[in-house]
Amino acid sequence: MFKRLLTSVSICFLYHLSFCQPVDNAAVLARRQVPVLCYHQIRNWRPSDKQVDKDYIIPPATFKAHMKLLADSGYHTILPDELYAYLTKGTPLPAKPIMLTFDDTDGDQWNIARPELMKYGFKGVYFIVFTNINKNKHYLSRRQIRQLSDEGNLIACHTQDHGNFKKLKGNDWEIQISTPKKKLELLTGKPVKYFAFPYGLWNSAGLPELHKRGFLAAFQLSDKRDPNDAMMTIRRLIDCGYWSNAKLDYNIKHDFGRPADQKLAKAKALAK
């Protein structure tokens, strides 16, 4: 019993030692960005889908073609702990790293994405809206989320009910951030350390609330990163439903292929 307690205390200590050191923001900004793709629904378009919806709805055939393209091009999927170690400490990543993220708890992510990812040995990050779990047959169940976690994918937080981060105040922080984080930890038996902003919306004033609650990094969409908190504003690219393989390939290479904020990082380094 004492030995087990000692082991868990040392694990906690090592965890804090490796993850809770202050982050050198200028160093993070200067590092090459890793492409992070973002997916929502994976289904065929319906006549009622508007053009703007098609950004968020990728037909299964397109999704499958894009996964094959990534595998054929030699990409290796990484998970947020690896990205964190790379961005904060320069820990090397596998060749052609990429991250695949899935938002909003859609059931297609189990039915379509999971088998495709498994085919290529890919792992994904699932940003869960807690109230969507078991909502109806179109959403992931508790059992599916636990299994995704057990299979080596990462379960992360996307708020309680998709609340707009920019509007959170007072008790909202507890309801939208702390509570779903704790519930997901209970569901998976693993710490939940990563967050995605609903609608990609964030403001600098709210970022300390994520630090306070033990998050190590947060993911937005394609706005510029916060110059003072790059780890809490990691960029993602929505793989749009109407992109060809060539368009995806181009966008991965040109949106994330170089440090977009390099000028800013240089300016900061010079100002030191």
Q: Where do contacts with Zn ion occur on this chain (CB under 5 A)?
A: 103-104, 198
Phi, psi of 59 (to 5 degrees): -65, 145
**Nearer CB in complex with Zn ion: 180/198:** 198
**Nearer CB in complex with Zn ion: 107/198:** 198
**Nearer CB in complex with Zn ion: 103/108:** 103
Strand spans (E) along the chain? 36-39, 41-42, 57-58, 76-77, 97-103, 125-128, 154-157, 194-196, 217-219, 237-238
**Nearer CB in complex with Zn ion: 104/229:** 104
Sign of CA dihedral 151, 153, 159, 164: negative
Asked if residue 134 lies in contact with residue 186, where contact means CB atoms within 8 angstroms, the answer is no
Distance in angstroms (rounded) separating the CA atoms of residues 169 and 191 = 24
Torsion angle, CA of 247/252/256/258, rounded to 10 degrees?
-90
Residue with smallest beta-carbon separation from Zn ion:
103
Least gap, CB of 198 to Zn ion (angstroms):
5
**Nearer CB in complex with Zn ion: 112/238:** 238
Asked if residue 140 lies in contact with residue 109, where contact means CB atoms within 8 angstroms, the answer is yes
Least gap, CB of 86 to Zn ion (angstroms):
25
The candidate with the shortest Cα–Cα distance to 57, out of 103, 118, 9, 124, is 103
Least gap, CB of 187 to Zn ion (angstroms):
19
Least gap, CB of 129 to Zn ion (angstroms):
6
Least gap, CB of 197 to Zn ion (angstroms):
8
**Nearer CB in complex with Zn ion: 98/128:** 128
Least gap, CB of 132 to Zn ion (angstroms):
9
Asked if residue 213 lies in contact with residue 165, where contact means CB atoms within 8 angstroms, the answer is no
